[in-house]
Amino acid sequence: MPSRGPRLCGCGHRVPPGARCACERKRAAERKARFDKTRPNSSARGYDRGWEKARRVFLKTHPVCRRCGARATVVDHIKPHKGDRSVFWDRKNWQPLCTPCHSGAKQREERRNMERT
Ligand SMILES: [Zn+2]
Ligand SMILES: [Zn+2]
């Protein structure tokens, strides 16, 4: 039988039976905060480390923006992948763009979508 008295936490506090010490609650909160910070990251949208590497390789072999000829910094999906992994990873669906062309293309696309709906 475990004792029913308060236990002694590693931090030196006495903790009532069934309760958690303040230091344990704090640690748990910190763990949760760290987890929350990393959770809604880019990998949720399909942009994981594999993508980062594939993007670099693609830009090395396609260094020029397809629209204006400037240095390409963005791999754009010609057809929006909308989270579809097979569309996302289809290299025939990739094009090198510079940042201004990329944001311009996306804005036009969003306008088109708005007109359709
Ligand atoms: Zn403690
Ligand atoms: Zn461009």
- Burial class, 75, CB count within 10 angstroms (exposed 0-12 / middle 13-18 / buried 19+): buried
Mean pLDDT of 43-64: 84
CA of 23 to the centre of ligand 1 (A): 4
Q: Which of 98, 79, 81 is nearest to 47 (CA)?
A: 81
Over the chain, what is the mean pLDDT? 85
The residue count for the chain: 117
| Domain residue extents for the chain | 48-116
Residue 47, both tokens: 């942009």
CA of 37 to the centre of ligand 1 (A): 25
pLDDT digits (tens, 9 = 90+) for 73-92: 999 999 999 989 999 999 99
What is the end-to-end Cα distance of the chain in Å, rounded?
67
> Rounded to an integer, what distance in angstroms lies between the CA atom of residue 99 and that of residue 75?
10
Residue 73, both tokens: 């910094």
CA of 3 to the centre of ligand 1 (A): 18
